[in-house]
């Protein structure tokens, strides 16, 4: 199998064969639970039972080799754009109106009034739209495919459809933007993924709840239009809001899709998300776990929200690179969204950041494209990718130039820092120790290539850190702004996850009049800590912290273990030497605006 650990593929086929006889390609998408704690893909019984009811389950999955280009690509752009981009509101969700079939229907009290939102298309002229310029930006960012929104839950169609007048041809713009975008993708060698929401809060048939009629008279015909009128389409990217596959007559729908576009792949959003239907998973605005037994793609935004919601700044370049690297290192892809404004202009800050990512990929693309995640699993220190006999270590954390990881079951023949500088690598007593001069440490990503005496893909995944030591710890603070921003919600009380690997959902903020804020965590007993992860706001948010100190209580005194100038949503720290203590704290010295810190996690390396 392409780019997968072969021993895990054997486990998958054995499981699917126990259910029923299907092709090898279908078997590759369904896996039994693992007992080694490495890969967290667990298909629920409900999915296995559903597959038994499908006459031809092969149609639900891509064929052998169909996903090779996708797993090699690693990086995509995601463009959400339409009449709502003139309103500075959340796409679809910013509409104050009915949401048929959704739990929030009838409870919406905020947003743009329905009559304004639904009529905005009558004013949509987009004088600055230029499909060529947009797709060239996608190409120059280093992205290999583009996810293009054709219809969101609000029902407005960004393509020339014969099924409704609520489409782009009936705007002052008056052109088929989907055709222009797809043509430009074909012109510049960018693969095409079409986003399509099955739910439609505007469609009168959908509003009646008669999903069978909706599928027959609207959904199926529209998908046929999209896959017939625009040439080669590589991905169908659904957004079914977790409803059951039978809601959309999924087996028949996917059979039609694959017959119209042989080799096409389909994401997981035509069924409950925990079922893992389709060809790849899709954590949204969070980094997926390490998972090499089933493809996955994080979808997120460079800044702001989905589509244009105002001139929000782009995430800092180090976080943008970290997001891409952590996805690739987890054996997944990144689809990074940007939303042009209502006139059709890409925000200059977003364009600048995307081009900077493209420049970085010109230098380091060999460590991302066509790679496999691992064999080292990610941690606060960073992530690893591999290709052939080479392992690429991406050290993303703050560090002094010394890093200790578990040893590899292979001999390191050669080690190089890809940018500059020499590196020393020593394997001894179950550890691999990396040492380089501090001036060779990159502020964004220090990339070290290790050439091995065997193919890196044959090495089973290696954990680099265990669970956070702070699970179940006690948090206290100098002050708390409110009940919703208290220290109690700063650490995870147990292993419950809110999303991909995220066990802390809330955040702590000090009182507004606190002139010397701090927050600390106390463990049940002293632990040896060598890596720290701090999250300030959402991943990609700029840091409001301008100076801070991390301290540990050692022999009843506070010992400074790190001083820094900014945090952000992805702050990692590798300590030069482990520190043993039961109490750690962050002291904030200087900041702007309000401090809002989500979590402090302490780790002991494997």
CA distance 265 to 277: 12
The token pair at 6 is 């072969």
Contact 279, 237 (CB under 8 A): no
Query: Is the model's pLDDT at 116 over the cut of 60?
Result: yes
| Residues 545-562, mean pLDDT to the nearest whole number | 95
State the pLDDT at residue 9: 38
Residue 71 three-state SS? helix
CA distance 250 to 233: 19
State the pLDDT at residue 4: 46
The token pair at 500 is 């991909």
| Domains defined for the chain, CATH in brackets | 68-315 (3.20.20.80), 374-458 (2.60.40.1180), 474-603 (2.60.120.260)
State the pLDDT at residue 18: 44
Contact 530, 524 (CB under 8 A): no
State the pLDDT at residue 400: 93
Instruction: Report percent pLDDT > 70 for the chain.
Output: 91
How far is the CA of 299 from the CAs of 97, 132, 456, 498, in angstroms?
26, 23, 28, 17
| Residues 105-133, mean pLDDT to the nearest whole number | 97
Query: Is the model's pLDDT at 239 over the cut of 90?
Result: yes
State the pLDDT at residue 484: 77
Contact 75, 143 (CB under 8 A): yes
Residue 29 three-state SS? coil
Q: How far is CA 507 from the centre of its chain?
A: 21
CA distance 110 to 131: 33
CA distance 11 to 318: 38
CA distance 147 to 236: 9
Query: Is the model's pLDDT at 94 over the cut of 70?
Result: yes
Beta-strand runs (E) in 418-542: 423-428, 431-436, 446-452, 474-477, 518-535
State the pLDDT at residue 87: 95
CA distance 242 to 247: 10
Binning pLDDT at 50, 70 and 90, where does residue 31 land? very low
Contacts (Cβ under 8 Å, ≥6 apart) of 593: 544
Query: Is the model's pLDDT at 27 over the cut of 80?
Result: no
State the pLDDT at residue 496: 58
| Residues 32-42, mean pLDDT to the nearest whole number | 49
pLDDT tens, position by position, 312-337:
999 999 999 999 999 999 999 999 99
Binning pLDDT at 50, 70 and 90, where does residue 472 land? confident
**Which of 603, 437, 438, 416 minimizes the C-alpha distance to 523?**
603
State the pLDDT at residue 494: 55
Mark 236-257 as b/e (b = at least 16 C-beta within 10 Å). Answer: bbbbbbebebebbbbbebbbbb
| Burial status of residue 535 (CB atoms within 10 A of its CB: 0-12, 13-18, 19 or more) | buried
CA distance 394 to 381: 8
Lowest mean pLDDT among 173-182, 407-416, 497-506: 497-506
Contacts (Cβ under 8 Å, ≥6 apart) of 5: 292, 293, 457, 460, 461
The token pair at 159 is 């393509």
Binning pLDDT at 50, 70 and 90, where does residue 282 land? very high
Query: Is the model's pLDDT at 532 over the cut of 70?
Result: yes
CA distance 270 to 240: 5
pLDDT tens, position by position, 344-391:
999 999 999 999 999 999 999 999 999 999 999 999 999 999 999 999
State the chain's mean pLDDT as an integer.
90
């Amino acid at each position: 199998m392409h780019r997968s650990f072969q021993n895990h593929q054997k486990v998958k086929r054995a499981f699917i064969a126990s259910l029923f006889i299907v092709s090898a390609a279908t078997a590759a998408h369904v896996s039994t639970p693992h007992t080694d704690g490495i890969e967290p893909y667990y298909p629920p019984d409900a999915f296995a039972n559903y597959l038994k009811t499908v006459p031809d389950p092969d149609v639900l999955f891509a064929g052998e080799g169909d996903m090779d280009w996708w797993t090699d690509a690693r990086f995509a752009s995601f463009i959400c754009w339409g009449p709502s981009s003139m309103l500075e509101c959340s796409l679809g969700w910013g509409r104050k109106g009915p949401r048929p079939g959704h739990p929030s229907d009838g409870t919406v009290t905020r947003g743009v009034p329905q009559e304004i939102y639904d009529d905005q298309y009558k004013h949509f002229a987009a004088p600055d739209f230029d499909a060529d310029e947009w797709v060239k930006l996608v190409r120059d960012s280093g992205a290999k495919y583009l996810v293009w929104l054709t219809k969101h839950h609000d029902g407005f169609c960004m393509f020339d459809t014969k099924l409704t007048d609520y489409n782009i041809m009936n705007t002052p713009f008056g052109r088929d933007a989907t055709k222009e975008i797809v043509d430009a993708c074909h012109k510049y060698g960018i693969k095409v993924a079409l986003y399509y929401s099955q739910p439609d809060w505007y469609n009168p048939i959908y509003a009646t709840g008669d999903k069978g009629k909706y599928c027959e008279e609207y959904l199926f015909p529209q998908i046929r239009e999209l896959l017939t009128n625009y040439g080669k389409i590589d991905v169908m990217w659904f957004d079914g809001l977790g409803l059951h596959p039978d809601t959309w007559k999924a087996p028949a729908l996917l059979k039609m899709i694959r017959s119209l576009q042989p080799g096409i792949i389909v994401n997981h959003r035509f069924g409950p998300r925990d079922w893992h239907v389709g060809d790849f998973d899709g954590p949204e605005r969070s980094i997926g776990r390490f998972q090499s037994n089933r493809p996955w793609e994080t979808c997120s935004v460079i800044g702001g929200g989905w589509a244009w919601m105002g001139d929000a700044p782009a995430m800092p370049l180090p976080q943008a690179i970290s997001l891409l690297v952590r996805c690739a290192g987890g054996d997944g892809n990144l689809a990074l969204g940007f939303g042009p404004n209502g006139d059709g202009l890409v925000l200059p800050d977003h364009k600048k950041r995307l081009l900077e990512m493209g420049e970085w990929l010109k230098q380091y693309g060999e460590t991302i494209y066509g790679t496999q995640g691992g064999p080292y699993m990610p941690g606060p220190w960073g992530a690893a990718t591999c290709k052939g006999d080479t392992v690429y270590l991406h050290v993303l954390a703050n560090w002094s130039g010394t890093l200790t990881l578990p040893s590899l079951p292979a001999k390191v023949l050669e080690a190089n820092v890809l940018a500059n500088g020499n590196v020393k690598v020593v394997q001894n007593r179950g550890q691999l120790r990396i040492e380089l001069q501090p001036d060779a440490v990159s502020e964004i990503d220090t990339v070290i290539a290790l050439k091995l005496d065997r193919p890196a893909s044959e090495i089973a995944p290696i954990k680099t850190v265990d669970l956070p030591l702070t699970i179940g710890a006690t948090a206290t603070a100098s002050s708390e702004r409110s009940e919703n921003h208290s220290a109690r919600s700063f650490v995870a009380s147990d292993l419950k996850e809110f999303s991909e690997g995220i066990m802390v959902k809330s955040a702590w903020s000090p009182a507004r009049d606190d002139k010397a804020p701090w927050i600390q965590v106390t463990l049940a007993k002293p632990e040896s800590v060598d890596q720290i992860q701090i999250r300030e706001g959402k991943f990609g948010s700029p840091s409001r912290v301008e100076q801070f100190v991390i301290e540990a209580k050692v022999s009843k005194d506070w010992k400074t273990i790190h001083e820094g100038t900014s945090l952000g949503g992805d702050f990692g720290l590798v300590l030069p030497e482990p520190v043993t203590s039961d109490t750690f704290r962050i002291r904030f010295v200087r900041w702007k605006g309000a401090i809002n810190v989500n979590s402090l996690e302490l780790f002991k390396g494997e």
